[in-house]
Amino acid sequence: MIELVDVVKTFQAGLATPFTAVDGVNLNVPRGKVTVLKGPSGSGKTTLLTLIGCMARPTSGRIHLHGLPAGTLPQLAKGDSLEITSLPERFLTAIRRRTFGFIFQQFNLVRGISVLENVLLPTYPTGEDHGDAEARAIERLESLGLARHLHASVDRLSGGEAQRVAIARALINDPTVIVADEPTAHLDSKLSEDFMMLMGQFKAAGKTLLITSHDPIVYSSPLADLVVEMRDGRIVAGP
Amino acid sequence: MRAPVQRYRNILDFALSSLLRRKGRNLALICVYTLVVFVIASLIFFVQSLKREARELLVQAPDMVVQRMVAGRHDPMPAAQAEAIRAIRGVEEVHSRVWGYYYDPVFGGNLTVMGSDDPTLAADAVWIGQGVARNMRVKEGDLISLRGYGGLPMLFAVQKILAEESELVSSDLVLMSPKDVRSLFNFPEGLATDLAITAGNPRELPTIAAKIVEQFPDARPILKSEILRTYEAIFDWRGGLMVVVLGSAVLAFIIFAWDKATGLSAEERKEIGILKSIGWESSDVLLLKFWEGSVVSLTAFLSGVLLAYVHVFFFSASLFEHALKGWSVLFPRYRLMPALDGYQLTVLFFLTVLPYTAATLVPIWRAATVDPDAAMRS
């Protein structure tokens, strides 16, 4: 599904203090499986996720997406492949919108607006009918046990509830890949187990999951098909 | 075709809810912004309306006034010159006018006392302007006392109070028979303050004026168009003076608006990063912020213009009248006729709405064009 070839990401390249966060990574993320990137803080996991998720460009190397859904980009047929590192921003945005659903470590909900509105945010620029999108968002939130919080402000939610809102938002455009960055970092063990159960449901539904974590509940979970260990920007154990 | 329209609607909806999220900040901005638009729009409306009023009133004024100058100063002119001027081709009517200024020590104001040949104006009677009536607290039928040249009081019956419509130029006016004016000021017979001339064809006025100067080198012809130009210059100058005085307030607003508009908070930056990471393009973020800026600036513009309209045309610009109407104690009091100048409003729109909108978009554009992960981490 996702193929990384010798990917390097250097921050402040060309300046006095360059910092290489990802250093020559080669990796294949299989379709429909759960891949876990584990490693200590600063090992480059999150940076690698942002590169895969089209949020930043690598300094060098290539990232290929295989078997993309039809309509990801104009004139792209179902199952086509794309090399994404050289694409202009609007194409990267289109891929990000249709292919990836992000669950962030800090949840990254927009404060001051309701749960429902947060979940609807990814649909606004697509020009989708508001009523259709809202019906889908309510369905997602109900399936995650958040029906009674639809119109509550996200500022009033507990950590577990906020994460489920973030999950509903990640799913709203029906992505093929769910990317989660340290999803259990702010959850207790019970909520972390619940989260992994949800991931199991998504896996069963055919989603590809890519999770970074240094939490044993995640990387030791029987759900994890592939565990890749990173340190200092390099893969030190895994495939 | 529906999707692009729906996209605009969705983003506009979110822009409105974003504005409500920062109620305090946006309300403060709208209030100050409205105040500035209100002040400038009030000045524009007021000056425009005064100029229009003056133009309409001067329609009834004589086409030309001829004064006599001695050593560069205005001096009474021999009334006999009227006959010579009447003989100039193109001159339809010449009228000798007797008028002067009377200082009333009771309320400390100057009155313009003018002789009128109106046959309905009785001897020892006056027609007075609204301002004079207000200050002297008199009505029709009352008597007023003016101090004559020799120091003795002269009594006049108030026969009529002049219409409110002409108050801009008649507020301080006292009309009486030319004979009474001469008695009041001890103005010599055979002399006039000036001559009012009406021409058959207004296009001939410059030629007539040239002929008068040729015939009477000490004469100074003043055309109606010159009087109008002087009025306009005075109102423009007063309006400009107010703008200068208010300049500091406008400058304070510009600094305030610039700070508010360009100072992108860490939270806003993070929000832009979040929006981009969940599939918003830079253009979507720019559209969102454009809507936000437009709502703030248009609300302030419309509120400011509306308030200015009410202030000027319903409350006679009570905040600025002392500076704009004149410095006399006899302030004209009148309700201005609403006059809107599309050009001036357009200029005001471009001077207030566009700079603010541009000021908001520049920092947003800078934040929106970086990678979403950088915007989120910053």
Structure tokens at B148: 């004559």
Whether residue B51 is found in the same domain as residue B123: no
The answer to whether residues B212 and B88 touch, using CB atoms and an 8 Å cutoff, is yes
| B232 or B110, higher pLDDT | B110
Express each pLDDT in B36-56 by its tens digit: 888 888 888 887 887 777 777
Domain count for chain B: 2
- Whether B13 and B90 share a structural domain: no
Residue B332 has pLDDT above 60, yes or no: no
Q: Is B110 on the interface with A (CB under 8 A)?
A: no
Chain A interface includes B372 (CB < 8 A): yes
Q: Could you tell me what percentage of chain B is helix, strand and coil, using 3-state DSSP and rounding each to the nearest 5?
A: 60, 20, 25
**Rounded to the nearest 5 degrees, what angle is found at the Cα of B87, between the Cα atoms of B83 and B93?**
75
Do B341 and B199 share a structural domain? no
Residue A235 burial (CB count, 10 A): 22
ipTM of the complex as predicted: 0.84
Q: Which of residues 46-105 of A touch B (CB under 8 A)?
A: 47, 50, 53, 55-57, 89-90, 93, 96-98, 102, 104
Which chain B residue's Cα is nearest to A89?
A: B281
Residues B52 and B67 in one domain: no
Rg of chain B (C-alpha set): 30
From the list B5, B273, B279, which residue is nearest A173 (CB)? B279
Is B7 in Cβ contact with A127 (below 8 Å)? yes
Q: Do B51 and B75 fall into the same domain?
A: no
pLDDT at B26 over 90: no
Measured CA to CA, the distance from residue B348 to residue A63 in angstroms comes to 53
Q: Does B378 touch chain A (CB under 8 A)?
A: no
Domain boundary among B223, B253, B286: B223
Across the interface, which of A113, A130, A173 has its CB nearest the CB of B10? A130
Residue A113 has its nearest CB partner, among B7, B17, B374, at B17
Task: Let me know: does B45 contact B308? Beta carbons within 8 Å.
Answer: yes
- Cβ within 8 Å, pair A125-B2: no
Do B234 and B367 have their domain in common?
yes
Range scoring the smallest mean pLDDT among A137-151, A169-183, B82-96, B337-351: B337-351
| Count of structural domains within chain A | 1
The amino acid at residue B59 is V
Highest mean pLDDT among B8-12, B154-158, B261-265: B154-158
Query: Exposed, middle or buried, B31 (CB in 10 Å: 0-12/13-18/19+)?
Result: exposed
Amino acid found at B361? L
CA distance B371 to chain A (A): 5
How does residue B378 score in pLDDT terms, banded at 50, 70 and 90?
very low
| Domain span at B175 | 63-223
Give the nearest partner residue to B373 out of A50, A93, A126, using CB atoms.
Answer: A50
Count of CA atoms in the C-beta half-sphere (13 A) of A126: 21
Are B73 and B206 in the same domain? yes
Q: How many residues does chain A have?
A: 239
B262 has a pLDDT exceeding 70: no
Asked if residue B324 has pLDDT above 70, the reply is: no
* Cβ–Cβ under 8 Å, residues B49 and B337: yes
Q: d(Cα B171, Cα B369) in Å, to the nearest integer?
A: 63
Contact between chains at B282 and A89 (C-beta distance less than 8 A): yes
pLDDT tier at B305, thresholds 50, 70, 90: very high
What is the residue range of A80's domain?
2-237
My answer on whether B105 and B152 are in the same domain is yes
Indicate if B123 and B156 belong to the same structural domain.
yes
Structure tokens at B167: 């108050």
**A88 CA: distance to closest CA in chain B (Å):** 11
Query: Rounded to two decimals, what is the model's pTM?
Result: 0.70
**Distance of residue A108 Cα from the nearest chain B Cα, in angstroms:** 6
* CATH number reported for the structural domain that contains residue A83 in this entry: 3.40.50.300
Q: Which of B279, B176, B243, B303 is nearest to A127 (CA)?
A: B279
d(CA A189, nearest CA chain B) in Å: 27
pLDDT top residue among B51 and B66: B66
> B358 and B299: one domain?
yes
pLDDT for B109: 81
User: Phi then psi for A217, rounded to 5 degrees?
Assistant: -60, -30
pLDDT at residue B162 is higher than 90: no
The 10 Å Cβ neighbour count of residue A135 is: 11
Which pLDDT does position B207 carry in this prediction? 92
Of A64, A59, A70, A69, the closest CA to residue A29 belongs to A64
Residue B35 has pLDDT above 90, yes or no: no
Distance CA B114, CA B111 (A): 9
- Which DSSP string corresponds to A123-143? GGGGT--HHHHHHHHHHHHHH
Q: Does residue B173 share a domain with residue B94?
A: yes
pLDDT value of residue B248: 67
Each residue's pLDDT expressed in tens, for chain A with a length of 239 residues: 788 898 999 988 778 888 888 888 898 899 889 999 998 888 888 899 989 988 888 999 999 988 777 666 666 666 677 788 888 887 888 888 888 888 888 888 998 889 999 999 999 988 888 888 999 999 889 888 888 888 999 888 888 889 889 989 988 888 889 999 888 887 788 888 888 888 888 899 889 999 998 888 888 888 889 999 999 888 887 66
Q: pLDDT category, B183, cuts 50, 70, 90? A: very high
Residue of B277, B281, B291 to mutate when probing chain A, most A C-beta within 10 A: B277
Contact A122/B at CB under 8 A: yes
CB within 8 Å of chain A, chain B residues 265-294: 267, 270-271, 273-284
Q: Minimal Cα–Cα distance from A11 to chain B, Å? A: 10
Q: Decide if A124 touches B, using CB distance below 8 A.
A: yes
Which chain B residue has the Cα nearest residue A53?
Answer: B277
Q: pLDDT higher for B355 or A172? A: A172
Task: Dig out the tokens for A154 from the structure.
Answer: 């996200």
- Residue B352 CA, distance from chain mean position: 20
Q: Judge: A110–B281 Cβ closer than 8 Å, yes or no.
A: no
H or E stretch including B363?
helix B342-368
Q: Which of B154, B189, B223 is the last residue of a domain?
A: B223
Q: Taking CB atoms and an 8 Å limit, are B277 and A55 in contact across chains?
A: yes
B219/B241 same-domain check: no
Answer with the one of B223, B246, B276 that is the final residue of a domain: B223
DSSP B68: E
Residue of B nearest to A171 (CA): B278
Please provide the average confidence, as pLDDT, over all residues in chain B: 83
Of residues B306 and B333, which shows the higher confidence score? Answer: B306
Note the pLDDT of residue B239: 67
Query: Confidence band (pLDDT; 50, 70, 90) for B351?
Result: confident
Measured between CA atoms, how close is B310 to chain A, in angstroms? 37
